[in-house]
Chains A and B, each alone.
Chain A
Amino acid sequence: MTSTNIIFKLLSYSTIYFLIVTGFFIIFAGFPQIIIVLKYFLFPGIIFIILGALFYSWFERKIYARMQNRIGPPFMQPIYDILKLLVKEDITPDGVEMLEFNIIPPIQLTLTLLLAFFTPVYMAEGLISFEGDLFFLLFLLAVLAGSIFLVGWSSNNPYGLIGGSRAAIAELSLEIPLTLAFIGPAILAGSLQLSNIIQSGFNLIDIPLNVIFRPDAYNSLHLLYIIPLSIQFYIAVLSANAVLEKVPFDPAHAETEIVGGWNVELTGKKLMFSHLANLVLEFALAGIIAAIFLGGPGFWPLNSFTKGLFLIGQWDIFYYIINTLTFLLKTTVVIFFIAVNRTVLSRLRIDQLVQYFWRYYLPIIFLALLMIIYLIGVF
């Protein structure tokens, strides 16, 4: 079976499935419901998220390769990887815990897609948005780490066991610094909702723009916010490296020591689900960090001008396009930082990872938080 064949099959199957679903909605629910279906399935839903995840995985690998003086993968490589894993034999070895081992990889993909639904793509609100969704995101990350531990445990393999327990330890270490990193912008915005944090304009790009374009509401002292925010931004990026199991914080994956760690026994479709979940998680996490620290879709003070310029009825196409493009650009920046960390640093041991997060990042992030609180008091 050639790869073009598979692409054709997949496309035809998905098109048929899509037509059936939309047809069902047209017949039984009426036209407006189709918009919701399109939102969840096409843009900015599942298809867009998966394509974005594949694109950013290519982008990260390409930058990583170029910085190492290599050529790097061709553009279609992530898709070929997924397809290859799909056609590979799916083995469930003897001695594994059948239920957990088979069911968790698809659950991981579902969880990461749910996480990605919170990412604001074309407007401040993501597909799902409610007060306190910031903590729900962190909760989802913890659930994912738990699922990783379960896969490692259920694979009944020393490598898998070590990888799983290391992933759990890493999650315990990075959770508090990551949460505190997100808390800073949340305090400034006065809300735990992602869309409110974006609209507040307190982020690394909008603060300078606001100082320039809205001198009445902001003064140049507001630029001081950039110091604690950039500290928190970078620690959030490092935590993202740890969540995604990338160098320097990848002892849970460490292919030269424990041969891929928790996913050592996964093959075929199970590995594909797990792999795709990781790619989607990278996209979602980079998107969320970009939203919190870089302002998400659009540059807010400029955004209000463009909104007036391109208003075309209710749909406002250009406005959404500009928002989407800026969102993609900002995500690229975060991915770039992740790739740079991966290039210039070496893998740490698990005890060193714990040490770095608890002994260094936690006090630093506390100081940044205190600085934000102090600055709020000043203004």
Chain B
Amino acid sequence: MIKSGFQTLDEIATSLDLKIREPTDHPLDLYVTIPPNRLIEVIKELKAKYNVSHLSTIIVQDLQDEYKLLYPFSINLSGGKMGKLIIDSRVDANEPKIDSIVKEIPGAIYYEREVYDMMGIQFKNHPDLKRILTPDSLPRDIYPLRKNITSEEIRRRLAESRKEREAEEKLKEYIRREQLEYISEKSDYAIAIGPQHPSLEEPIRFIFQVEGETVKDVELRLGFNHRGLEKAFESRTYAKNLYLAERICGICSDAHQLCYVQAVEKCAKITNDIPERAQYIRTILAELERIHSHLLWYGVLAHNTGFDTIFQFTWRDREIIMDILEEISGNRVNYAMHAIGGVRRDISTEQVAKIIPKLKKLRKRIVEHQKMMMKETSFVVRQKGIAPLTREEALSFCAVGPNARSCGINVDIRRDDPYAAYDQFSLDVPIVTEGDIYSGLVIRLEESLAALDLAVEVLKTLPQGELRIKSPRRIPEGEGISRVEAPRGENIHFVQSNGTTKPERIKVRAPTLANMPSLKKRLIGIQVADIPPVVRVIDPCIGCMDRVTFVDSKTGKTMELSGEHLISRGNRAYRLGTRVLDF
């Protein structure tokens, strides 16, 4: 990275002649306004002058007569920090069109498709502007996140379109066409992996064009888990959304809740008032979650390459960390620890005394796993040199998290854009430059050890004090954008508040979507046998990406279901086939 002489985002903005929208309290956030026709030009300048290549997401908000598009770019500032330069560009609602930035930022390809799918904004010169998350049976004129359509109406139209005979025939025709693609002229044959496949824990679909054993091309299909969570956020209060946010994902539920809470705190302008003890407890939770996620990851990687012994061992030892999390929060997943203005539960001294020996025991086990995996040649030959991604490619595809760090990109949100109590501790960020599967494994192993040490350190230095401050029920009008380093990488939430108890717009971008373009690049040219480990290397969390929720789509309420009830529901779904989906 070029160490520029510029100290702050304001200086960068003025040097590029950008109009600062309004000053913020946060030195690492800056909103600038530019007209849509200047967008490409500004991005080119940013790339040339400040080496900017990372676009976190594209946020769109429906303002009735116009659409507000926010492009949060990451800029490396002097002093090792990473600022967010958020470009605010507005397009007219009658003619929602804007230039595509895929040529400048190749990693934006799925973000733009998502925006098109959800808001119906046309991107000029986009290479492949199709819908990405919504089902095929959704009528073409519905753009779900627009304010002029309610979720009831979307559900009704979706159910109607499914009942239509014509649509059904169309769908069948579509499936038939897809089947025929298996014997295409592009390659010898095509293999479909997903939506249901033993190596995928969650539904996603890849269609691989294969010659012999080599993958020539790959098509992705997302959205099997899409339940319209961003729409659901808008109809609930901030307090209820806490629990919705952590149900975005089962593995990184804490990261999502923390990110949401921080974004809301930025809206309410109480970020600097959060008690220190709460900040420390947030850090502990985030680190514990990172450990259990990484343990899960390399266990499943071993399973994907047929090394079931490691899989069993890691999942056995993962129970230690799950017990600790249960001890702290009362739950194995969905910890519900965070609240707007602090945390909900305390960690007592007795608990600390219980947890630290357990963590030390786990550390020994992880070192053991490390030895077992690094020394087993038959395991290592499956990883080394497979599907390498160069640093330049990773930068251009906006890779995040361990996926980026395994390619030599020195980025960690905990250190570069500190949140919770991370600025009080020195962080050990492992970097590997090879970019293959093996370096991903090395990164995760070292990161889980570093996270363990950090968790112990934070537990030992836990300060006394308040747990939370009182937060207003009505969040004043404002916008907050927050990033956390989830186990899979940068996780970003955007909250627009409007002075009521309910948010105007919440945008979630989980790390998996950011890693998808680089995954596609990795997959081309590999062997069929390497598909599961290569897909695994970005740690795909499809639930996150598609934003699933367990809200009942009929009543719109979350329900408590007993085990028997769930079984009977499952049996009913099995008997009735797809009909149960329509309710």
Contact = CB atoms under 8 A, between A and B. Distances in A.
20 contacts: A68-B312, A161-B189, A162-B191, A162-B213, A247-B307, A251-B529, A256-B304, A257-B199, A257-B528, A257-B529, A343-B309, A345-B378, A346-B382, A348-B382, A349-B382, A349-B529, A349-B530, A350-B213, A351-B213, A351-B527
A248 interface: yes
A125 interface: no
A258 B376 contact: no
B374 to A, nearest CB: 12
A256 B528 contact: no
B47 interface: no
B382 A347 contact: yes
A105 B507 CA distance: 54
B535 to A, nearest CB: 10
Contacts of B528: 162, 257-258
Interface in B293-344: 302-309, 312-313, 316
A351 B312 CA distance: 27
Given A254-B529, A258-B528, A158 B307 contact: no
A69 B382 contact: no
B213 A346 contact: no
Interface in A248-268: 248, 250-251, 254-259
Contact of B182 (A158, A250, A259): A158
Interface range, B side = 20 to 34
Interface in A55-92: 67-70
B197 interface: yes
Nearest to B312: A68
A373 interface: no
B378 A68 contact: no
Contacts of B307: 247, 345-347
A347 B379 CA distance: 7
B532 interface: yes
A361 interface: no
Given A257-B532, A348-B381, A349-B530, A250 B309 contact: no
A69 B312 contact: yes
A182 B528 CA distance: 34
Nearest to B527: A349
Contacts of A351: 213, 527
Contacts of A159: 191
B313 A69 contact: yes
B305 A347 contact: yes
Contacts of B189: 158, 161
B5 interface: no
Contacts of B376: 344-346
Contacts of A69: 312-313, 316
List of 3 A-B pairs having minimum Cβ-Cβ separation, nearest first:
A347-B306, A346-B307, A346-B379
A256 B309 contact: no
Nearest to A169: B213
A286 to B, nearest CB: 21
B510 to A, nearest CB: 24
A352 interface: yes
B113 to A, nearest CB: 27
B79 interface: no
B379 A259 contact: no
Contacts of A162: 191, 213, 528
B530 A259 contact: no
B531 A257 contact: yes
Contacts of B190: 158
A310 to B, nearest CB: 44
Contacts of B529: 251, 254, 257, 349-350
Nearest to B183: A158
Interface range, A side = 20 to 34
A347 B532 CA distance: 12
Contacts of B306: 247-248, 250, 254, 256, 346-347
B382 A158 contact: no
Contacts of A67: 309
Contacts of B302: 346
Interface string B180-219: 0010000001111000011100000000001001000000
A70 B529 CA distance: 27
Nearest to A352: B381
Interface string B253-274: 0000000000000000000000
Nearest to B306: A347
A182 B198 CA distance: 38
Contact of B197 (A158, A259, A346, A348): A259
Contact of A70 (B182, B312, B381, B527): B312
Contact of A256 (B379, B381, B532): B532
Given A158-B189, A345-B376, A68 B198 contact: no
A344 B198 contact: no
A378 B302 CA distance: 48
Interface string A96-127: 00000000000000000000000000000000
Interface in A166-198: none
A82 B302 CA distance: 29
Interface in B364-396: 376, 378-379, 381-382
Given A162-B528, A347-B306, 12 more contacts: A67-B309, A158-B189, A158-B191, A158-B192, A161-B189, A162-B191, A247-B306, A254-B306, A257-B528, A257-B529, A346-B302, A348-B381
Interface in A326-366: 343-352
A52 to B, nearest CB: 25
A255 B379 CA distance: 17
A68 B303 contact: no
Nearest to A260: B198
A70 B213 CA distance: 35
A262 to B, nearest CB: 14
A256 B198 contact: yes
Q: Which of B182, B529, B530 has the most chain A CB atoms closer than 10 A to its own CB?
A: B529
A346 B306 CA distance: 5
A247 B376 CA distance: 14
A345 B382 CA distance: 12
Contacts of A348: 378, 381-382
Nearest to B372: A344
A257 B208 CA distance: 13
Contacts of B303: 256
B47 to A, nearest CB: 39
B296 to A, nearest CB: 15
A354 B302 CA distance: 22
B445 to A, nearest CB: 16
Given A256-B198, A256-B532, A349-B530, A68 B308 contact: yes
Nearest to A246: B306
Contacts of B309: 67-68, 343-344
Given A67-B309, A257-B199, A248 B531 contact: no
A215 B315 CA distance: 55
Contacts of B379: 345-346
Nearest to A259: B198
B308 A247 contact: yes
Nearest to B386: A349
Contacts of A259: 197-198
Contacts of B316: 69
Interface in B116-135: none
Nearest to A65: B312
A197 B49 CA distance: 80
Nearest to B536: A256
Q: Which of B197, B302, B376, B530 has the most chain A CB atoms closer than 10 A to its own CB?
A: B197
Nearest to A161: B189
Contacts of B191: 158-159, 162
Interface in B408-434: none
B517 to A, nearest CB: 23
Interface in B527-576: 527-532
A344 to B, nearest CB: 7
A372 to B, nearest CB: 28
Interface in A116-170: 158-159, 161-162
Nearest to B313: A69
Contacts of A255: 198
